[in-house]
């Protein structure tokens, strides 16, 4: 079996964003080898879904590594090809339990030069919290909505604001929530037209969807 690492160094030139490294199912030696290859090319290392034990061992080798525990992301270096834009993304989360997915999206956007802000604990169980933040959320160009439980927040947002909405179901909730499948099905069944829906817990994917939209704005 060929175990050589074939990293996509041309991805940023081709489609405008870096290749993220999935950390959950890679061992430390594999991750270290990828880090070395990427850093040798003077590129940024962005690892998602990495736990503290793996991150700690990588940080022993790379002293400038930054581990973001709540987002389960590790970053080494800097993206030298950031997008220059004044477009901004709001990341709206139903509850604190959705924070990890929200922060993954935020970090992924920030390494590409996109300004964003998180609005946490604005779920539909306390609708006044969302209404109180709606004027500020409306100032952003793209909205990412992260919600677990029944995932109703995405539909509510879709009925209140005109911006592109990218919904992320989060694997939070009791029993029949089924690790995010209830939220996923709810978002896919939304009566608010035009909502885009990501896979469960895919904050990074939502960030890249937002980045694609922003790049269209920049090319107009």
CATH code for position 180: 3.40.50.1970
Cα dihedral across residues 208, 213, 215, 216: positive or negative: positive
- Final residue before a domain boundary, out of 76, 111, 128: 76
Least confident span in 13-22, 139-148, 161-170, 189-198? 13-22
Query: Domain containing 110: what range?
Result: 88-219
**Is residue 4 in a domain?**
no
**Is residue 170 in a domain?**
yes
When pLDDT is cut at 50, 70 and 90, the band that residue 3 belongs to is low
DSSP code, position 178: G
- Count: domains in the chain: 2
Q: Are residues 201 and 102 in the same domain?
A: yes
Share of the chain above pLDDT 70, in %: 97
Name the pairing type of β-strands 196-197 and 165-169: parallel
Q: Are residues 39 and 65 in the same domain?
A: yes
**Is residue 29 in a domain?**
yes
Is the pLDDT reported for residue 46 higher than 60? yes
The strand pairing partners of 143, in sequence order, are 90, 165
**Is residue 156 in a domain?**
yes
Q: Are residues 50 and 101 in the same domain?
A: no
**The pTM is what?**
0.91
What is the pLDDT, as a whole number, of residue 165?
A: 97
**Is residue 83 in a domain?**
no
Please, what is the average pLDDT of the chain?
Answer: 92
- Final residue before a domain boundary, out of 39, 55, 76: 76
Q: Are residues 101 and 66 in the same domain?
A: no
Cα dihedral across residues 126, 127, 130, 131: positive or negative: negative
183: tokens are: 């939220």
**Is residue 146 in a domain?**
yes
Q: Beginning with the edge strand found earlier in the chain, give each strand of the sheet holding 66-68 in spatial order.
A: 21-22, 45-48, 73-76, 66-68
Q: Are residues 188 and 140 in the same domain?
A: yes
> 91-116 pLDDT, tens per residue?
999 999 999 999 999 999 999 999 99
Q: Are residues 99 and 50 in the same domain?
A: no
When pLDDT is cut at 50, 70 and 90, the band that residue 27 belongs to is very high
The strand pairing partners of 48, in sequence order, are 22
Q: Are residues 46 and 127 in the same domain?
A: no
Q: Are residues 101 and 192 in the same domain?
A: yes
On the CB side of 132, CA atoms within 13 Å amount to 10
**Is residue 44 in a domain?**
yes
- Final residue before a domain boundary, out of 76, 105, 132: 76
């Amino acid at each position: 079996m060929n175990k050589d690492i074939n990293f996509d160094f041309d991805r940023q030139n081709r489609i405008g964003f870096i290749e993220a490294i999935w950390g959950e199912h890679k061992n430390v030696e594999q991750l270290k080898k990828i880090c070395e290859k990427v850093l040798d090319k003077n590129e940024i290392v962005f690892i998602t879904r990495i736990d503290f034990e793996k991150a700690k061992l990588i940080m022993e080798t790379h002293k400038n590594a930054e581990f973001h525990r709540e987002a389960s992301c590790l970053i080494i270096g800097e993206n030298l090809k950031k997008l220059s834009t004044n477009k901004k993304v709001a990341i709206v989360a139903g509850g604190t339990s959705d924070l990890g997915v929200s922060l993954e999206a935020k970090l992924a956007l920030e390494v590409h030069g996109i300004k964003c802000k998180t609005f946490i604990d604005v779920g539909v169980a306390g609708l006044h919290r969302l209404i109180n933040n709606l004027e500020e959320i409306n100032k952003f160009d793209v909205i990412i909505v992260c919600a677990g439980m029944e995932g109703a927040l995405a539909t509510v947002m879709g009925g209140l604001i005109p911006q592109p909405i990218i919904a992320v179901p989060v694997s939070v909730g009791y029993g029949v929530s089924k690790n995010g499948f209830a939220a996923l099905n709810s978002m896919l069944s939304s009566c608010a037209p035009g909502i885009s829906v990501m896979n469960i817990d895919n904050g990074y994917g939502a960030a890249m969807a937002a980045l694609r939209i922003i790049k269209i704005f920049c090319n107009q």
